A and B are shown apart, each in its own frame.
Chain A
Amino acid sequence: MTAGAFIVAGALAGLAAGVAGAGAPIRRRVTVAAVLVWVACALEAAAAIRVLSTGHPIVLHFAELLPLTGVDLVLTPLGAFFVLLVAMVAVPATLHGIGYAPHGLDSRMAACAVPIFVTVLLLVPAAGSVATFMVLWELMALASLSLVLVDHGRREAARSAGTWYAVITHVGAALILVAFLILAAHSDGQSFAALRLGARHLAPDVRALVFVLALVGFGSKAGVVPFHVWLPKAHPEAPSPVSALMSGAMVALGVYGIVLVGDVVLGGGPVWWWLVVLALGAASALFGSLHAASSTDMKRLLAYSTTDNVGLALLALGASGLFDATRHPLLAALGLVAALVLLLNHAAFKGALFLSAGSVQTAAGTRDLDQLGGLLRRMPQTGAFFLVAAAAICALPPLNGFIGEWLLFQSLLHGADIGSTAGEIAIPLAVAAMALTAGLTVVAFVKAAGIGFLGRPRSEGADAAVEVPATMRMGVGLLVGVCIVIGVVPTLILPAVERAVRTALPGVGPLSLAHGVNLQLAGLRGVLEPAALAAAMVIAVAGVMGLRRVLARRPAPRVAEAWGCGRELQTARMQYTATSFAEPVQRVFDDVLRPVQDLDVSHVAESRYFVESVTFRNAVDDGIERGLYRPVIGVVRRWGRAARQLQPGSVHRYLAYGLGALVLVLVALAVIG
């Protein structure tokens, strides 16, 4: 079987999964579809691994499949990296989906849409021409939209989220299409290779226009500030396996699009392009992490954290472009490696976190952190997995998040004196933004893990929670395993990442980051020995545990009630809640978050000295949604209302419109002709 046949067979398996999902009886449909999806993922991953190991792209053309243009599939090493990323999330997500199915994934529509969504996600990075890319891109948007709307009958919030997502994603797609059309108009053909040749001779401002259009279009899919507003609405409303796919895989494809247009097709650009990318990345990272730190809904928190992580990847991408524009190819490659590793890590830990949030929701009946608590005792495996994934996203060694942040920091550190004034001002600020983001991420995830899984349960649902079925736990466990493996032996993936980077930056020589199990920056001074560090940590923990056992006179602990300031009875209401945990951060960043707070104290009728009840409400809504989108929506509403007056229902008026239009056309013709 040739490599191309793998891609075709994978796509067919994915379609078969969709058919099975729509056709099979309700008991079996999700399982059968999931198994076929795994086959599809395995076949596409095999093709991707082949491309990454040989470095030669797979080129396929089907003239009959799409009228006028045909379908072009070109799987480059860069695309292959993203195919592997999608497969890495899709297999655990569908496995988790088998257990999750009774909670909204076993309808015919959902069981059909999930496999189609995964198949399209697998194929988008393989698209080789504008027509193919746009068809797949739109299919991806529609499949995910239908999955966001799965619960539309029961919840108003799902309908609203669907509208937001549909509008933003389609405006984005329109901008991407315009960018591609401009390029295609100046090229001989519509394949990306032809576009690349045509783009060489474009005027600088046309190139800049194309880049900005693509940046906004793909940025809206990637959830970059200020186009992120759909994320905190759509991710919480979608079923959790779908959230994991959307956040881990689909959002990463938005960044893929920016790399595709900026680096592959346009071949890099002036410094200011990349400063814009850098600024967008830094703003997204800060805004996302700040809102994640103050969110109390577990999935909303994760959605904001997606904006944060994509922001970090864009920060790395912007730095990479900056180094490329100032002729530092080695640093540019390192920055892009960091961006890709950050995306891969994000897919692993955010996938695991979304899936475990789904497990929590099915077990406790809520995802509101203020209603959770004590879940680690009730759901030991899900809880442990969540804790490890949270540690990974906080960039704690020896997990994968740390490797990504180390690479990003090293690329910024070595690029601090690149000889471009704007760049030299931007880099320290980028480091500061990255650092504050990292700190706020710790706040967000200590809160999510501590409030959600530790302490006493804050509601009856959380108290009654029991461990979820094995498929759900295995799905999360797979992704957590990836987090640990990449964290300890990152050299397993780095050669593939370097190959992928060379598609985007062809001028770069071998980077060879991997030295055995160690990381070494070629030509730069930076070494990391993650495996040795992990071993040292394990040995030290074992050693200290042994020491405690030896030194302590009475090793087995006695269980006692926690100290309650003299009170005998501790209740769940005495604990800190997610809101109170985030209060210091909220107070420090008051000017950015603008929380809405209400304090209502009612007194006993007889005396004002006695309080009857205290009501406190604290809400943090999205400042960008409030300040940017609401006014626009208001204007559109007013226009709509004004346009309504044109339609009073009078036939005479409509006839007059017809006459007027006819006269106008005739006049216009007379003037032109």
Chain B
Amino acid sequence: MSTVFHLTGVAVASGVQVVAIAAGGPVLVGAMRKVRCRLEGRIGPPILQPLRDIRKLFRKERIRPDQSTWIFPLAPVVLVATVAVAAAITPLVTTEPALGSSSDLFALVYLLLVGSTLLALAGMDAGTAFGGMGSSRAVTIGALAEPALLVTILALSFTAHSSNLPAIVRATLADPGSLATPQRLFALGALLIVIVAESGRLPVDNPATHLELTMIHEAMILEYAGPDLALVTVGEAMRLTLLLGIFVNLVVPWGMSTSTNVVGIAVGLVALAAKVAAVGVALAIFEVCSAKVRLFRLPELLAGAFVLALLGVVSGLVVR
């Protein structure tokens, strides 16, 4: 009986995480936009505007380019689905999510890669110039971010001797001193740069631009309209929120529920929202102060992230 209770609790907790990421993602994007606008001296759209936009898009007609194949309608679905699975198994609200033992950082990275790879293929499906351009740039940035990402995972997994995310979070909760170690600080710095690159924010990609020569992500999804565009928008917002959620829980794991009871989940949810909002606002402030880096200067930025991650690993080995 207790196992049934436990399993139900785990399922509920994971469901809450998925819903929180799905609903919270667009709100986070709206909040970040609002912060940017206010700092630039504009009033800006309401924080809930992205949610309204998505509702509007779902009401519109679905349009498919004449040359496209089944890849085109499939990609947004897979994007949202893989982010949802990742959100379900990541420790966000609780340290005991469903399939938590598989919640390996390496597995999460590749799970998220499924959606972005399919979206890159979908960009080329319509047979237009913009789609290919966006896809080409997006996969190149993804490739360059990968070394920093995996070496960061290596550095993060020193404390727990495992790349399992719940294990890392639990080890950090048990030994908060490990947060102040140089390897963790270097690794988190690298992770933040990689997250910015992977979620297409400034200074890597400007999500608000439609200027043809600077577009990356927007070029790739240019052909999407209506409900499919809504899914892409939701998927991208979810991805950003999930990545920031993982980041904040590696920096300040407190507030997460170590069980799956209702109070714990509620507290965990509030804590997650507060932490992600704080990082999101900080990121928005940083975006106001920074300009987009030229595409061919990006390798330097990502190489910097890689060096940080490598420093993390090396200091982990030295300090041991």
Q: How far is the CA of A433 from the CA of B147 in the complex (A)?
A: 7
B132 touches A575 (CB 8 A): yes
A–B Cβ pairs within 8 angstroms, 29 of them: A377-B67, A405-B110, A406-B104, A409-B150, A412-B154, A417-B158, A431-B151, A433-B147, A439-B139, A439-B147, A442-B113, A446-B124, A446-B135, A450-B120, A450-B124, A524-B161, A528-B104, A528-B107, A532-B99, A536-B85, A537-B82, A537-B114, A540-B82, A559-B64, A560-B66, A570-B67, A575-B128, A576-B124, A588-B140
Residues of B within 8 A of A435 (CB): 146-147, 149-151
Footprint of B on A, CB under 8 Å?
Answer: 293, 373-374, 376-377, 383, 387, 391, 394-397, 402, 405-406, 409-410, 412-414, 416-417, 424, 428, 431-436, 438-440, 442-443, 446-447, 449-451, 454-456, 524-529, 532-533, 536-537, 540-541, 543-545, 548, 551-564, 570, 572, 574-576, 580-585, 587-588
Q: A443-B143, A529-B102, A576-B131 are in contact. List 6 more A-B contacts (CB 8 A).
A: A387-B121, A413-B157, A424-B317, A455-B132, A525-B167, A560-B63
The stretch of B29-37, B199-207, B223-231, B275-283 in contact with A is B223-231
Closest chain-B Cβ to A315's Cβ sits at a distance in Å of 13
Closest chain-B Cβ to A389's Cβ sits at a distance in Å of 14
Closest chain-B Cβ to A112's Cβ sits at a distance in Å of 41
B13 interface residue (CB < 8 Å to A): no
Residues of B within 8 A of A540 (CB): 80-82, 84-85
Q: Select the residue from A417, A455, A456, A554 with max chain B CB neighbours within 10 A.
A: A455
Q: How far is the CA of A657 from the CA of B71 in the complex (A)?
A: 74
In the complex, residue of chain A having the shortest beta-carbon distance to the beta carbon of B235 = A544
In the complex, residue of chain B having the shortest beta-carbon distance to the beta carbon of A529 = B102
Q: How far is the CA of A552 from the CA of B59 in the complex (A)?
A: 6
Q: What total count of A-B pairs have CB within 8 Å?
A: 266
A584 touches B163 (CB 8 A): no
B125 touches A446 (CB 8 A): no
B139 touches A570 (CB 8 A): no
Given the interface pairs A443-B140, A446-B117, the reply to whether A537 lies near B81 with Cβ below 8 Å is: yes
Given the interface pairs A428-B313, A434-B150, the reply to whether A439 lies near B143 with Cβ below 8 Å is: yes
- Tell me which residues from 115 to 134 in chain B have a Cβ below 8 Å from any Cβ of chain A: 117, 120-121, 123-129, 131-133
Given the interface pairs A377-B69, A548-B231, A584-B136, the reply to whether A438 lies near B146 with Cβ below 8 Å is: yes
A432 touches B62 (CB 8 A): no
In the complex, residue of chain A having the shortest beta-carbon distance to the beta carbon of B302 = A588
Q: How far is the CA of A251 from the CA of B160 in the complex (A)?
A: 38
B142 interface residue (CB < 8 Å to A): yes
Q: Which among A428, A529, A581 is the interface contact of B136 at CB below 8 angstroms?
A: A581
B254 interface residue (CB < 8 Å to A): no
In the complex, residue of chain B having the shortest beta-carbon distance to the beta carbon of A441 = B143
Residues of B within 8 A of A414 (CB): 161
Q: Which among A394, A409, A417, A443 is the interface contact of B317 at CB below 8 angstroms?
A: A417
In the complex, residue of chain A having the shortest beta-carbon distance to the beta carbon of B125 = A454
User: Dominant SS at the B interface?
Assistant: helix
Residues of B within 8 A of A432 (CB): 147, 150-151, 306, 310
Q: How far is the CA of A581 from the CA of B131 in the complex (A)?
A: 11
Q: How far is the CA of A413 from the CA of B316 in the complex (A)?
A: 13
Residues of B within 8 A of A428 (CB): 151, 154, 310, 313-314
B299 interface residue (CB < 8 Å to A): yes
Given the interface pairs A376-B69, A446-B120, A588-B299, the reply to whether A431 lies near B129 with Cβ below 8 Å is: no
Residues of B within 8 A of A374 (CB): 67, 127
B101 interface residue (CB < 8 Å to A): yes
Q: How far is the CA of A308 from the CA of B230 in the complex (A)?
A: 38
Closest chain-B Cβ to A433's Cβ sits at a distance in Å of 8
B226 touches A552 (CB 8 A): yes
Q: Which among A416, A557, A583 is the interface contact of B64 at CB below 8 angstroms?
A: A557
